[in-house]
Amino acid sequence: MNKRKLIALTLAFALQVPILSGSLNTSKASKYEGQENKYYKLCSSKKLSASGQKECKKFNAYLQQKSKDIKSDISKTKSDISDTKSSISDIGNKIISLENDIDSAQIKINYIKSAIEVTKSQIADKQKQLKERIYSMQSELNSTIAFDYLFSAKSFTDFFSRAATLGDITAYENELMNEIKEKQNDLTNQKKTLSDTQAILVAKKDESVSLRKTLNAKLAQQNSDLSSSNKELDRNNDNIDDITKNLAALKKASEESKVTAKVTVKVPKKKVTKTKPSSSANNSNVSQNGVDKSKVTSEEVTEEVPDTGNIGYKIAQTALKKKGSRYIWGHQGPTTFDCSGLVYWACKQNGVSGSRTTTKVLANRGRYVSKGDLQPGDIILFSSNGKHSGVHHVGIYIGDNMMVHAADEDHGVIVSRITTPYWIREYYNARRLY
């Protein structure tokens, strides 16, 4: 490959890179184009997940860029409207000028028409005089043939022509005939010129009127476009404000939901060995709800879940106030609880209806929540085999990877961190009941 070809290829590649980059940016931005209502509805939700909030930040940035584009369009449309109005004004002035010229031409035409009528009258008088003169000369002509020849002419011009042919008109009559003919020709030419000029002026006026009509239609469309753009801008800015406020509120709620915790680990009653425990040993460590007591740890919470008005936070706060209460199988408060009883009681205190039920039923109640989208008030289900058939325990998430739950007979209602190996292994799913 020679040097010239190498340079050409390098330049071609350099030119393609920004084009491709621009194409990628356009594609990224166009993800929301035509889907604004869908994403606005999504981003107006008070229960956005972390990934949802991230998506809504991108959507809000798209809306902000869209507002800039709309403002640019509005500015251009206003400039176009100004130009169109100026053109309409110029056309209006031109039409007025043409109308004045047409009126002036018409006045001249009317004057020439009057002059032509006067000339016709003069010609008729001259013709009469010539007829009388020629008639008096008839004796000299001594022939009625010549007389008949002259006065059988079809027009006055033909009459003069025949008279000249006969050679019976004197220099005076000849001069008179020429004068009248020239005057008649001159007036006829003037009339034709003015009529042609007037026709041109009328055509120009019609063209200008048509153009003004077109410009007025264009102006109406531009004003309509401007009105639509202003409405779209207002709507877009309102959406930006709503989403910005919602994201700010969600961020504030997330920050307030963080619970400062101090971990105190209780030493298991029995040391866990790699050998399979006996039936009696296994039963001594497993509570009635299937929780392995030896794996349960308790967290000392130094801050309460802040009350932001959200039902989930209220449920978490209500349950957290029962920390230290005794565990009794089948109890649902207000002083003693089992795991599902605590969930039932905390929800009921905050207006979330639902019958007292088992953990297996709770595993399918409400709506599914992923681990990354957990919020205070969500319930977490645990299974011994990773399946619905093994679901045996439930707790209430309070934030910061912790839950409040009625653990077992030994621990009662406590706060535990769900990121310990035991709870990670037992984790089944999470549900939102409110």
Helix extents (H) in 137-170: 138-141, 144-151, 156-166
Is it the case that residue 153 has pLDDT exceeding 80? Answer: no
Least confident of 177-191, 240-254, 328-342, 411-425: 177-191
The pLDDT > 90 percentage for the chain reads: 34
Is it the case that residue 325 has pLDDT exceeding 90? Answer: yes
| pLDDT at residue 185 in the model | 84
Find out whether 117 and 174 touch, Cβ atoms under 8 Å: no
pLDDT tens across 189-206, in order? 877 887 888 888 888 888
| pLDDT at residue 187 in the model | 77
The residues spanned by each domain of the chain are: 48-255, 321-430
The number of beta carbons lying within 10 Å of the beta carbon of residue 181 is 14
Is it the case that residue 9 has pLDDT exceeding 70? Answer: no
Q: State mean pLDDT over 397-415.
A: 92
3-state secondary structure of 201: helix
Which pair of structure tokens corresponds to residue 148?
């008949």
**Between 289 and 220, whose confidence is greater?**
220
Beta strands in 158-241 (DSSP E): none
CATH 3.30.930.10 fits 321-430, yes or no: no
The pLDDT > 70 percentage for the chain reads: 70
Least confident of 157-166, 236-245, 338-347: 157-166
Per-residue pLDDT band at 299 (split at 50, 70, 90)? low
pLDDT tens across 14-25, in order? 334 333 333 333
pLDDT tens across 75-89, in order? 999 999 999 899 888
Least confident of 77-81, 104-108, 129-133: 129-133
- Rounded Cα distance, 55 and 52, in Å: 5
CB-based contacts of 347, cutoff 8 Å, min separation 6: 315, 353, 354, 433, 434
pLDDT tens across 357-405, in order? 899 999 999 999 999 899 999 999 999 999 999 999 999 999 989 999 9
pLDDT tens across 111-127, in order? 878 877 887 787 778 77
Per-residue pLDDT band at 281 (split at 50, 70, 90)? very low
Q: At what angle do helices 156-166 and 50-136 cross, to 10 degrees?
A: 40
Rg (alpha carbons) of the chain, rounded to whole number: 52
Residue 65 gets which letter from DSSP?
Answer: H
Q: State mean pLDDT over 145-152.
A: 62
Is it the case that residue 285 has pLDDT exceeding 90? Answer: no
Q: What is the dihedral of CA 167, 170, 175, 176, to 10 degrees?
A: -100
Is it the case that residue 328 has pLDDT exceeding 90? Answer: yes
Q: State mean pLDDT over 308-318.
A: 84
Is it the case that residue 222 has pLDDT exceeding 60? Answer: yes
Q: State mean pLDDT over 60-78.
A: 92
Distances (CA, A) of 278 to 273, 281, 284: 11, 5, 10
Nearest to 259 by CA among 89, 38, 418, 72: 418
Q: State mean pLDDT over 253-270.
A: 46
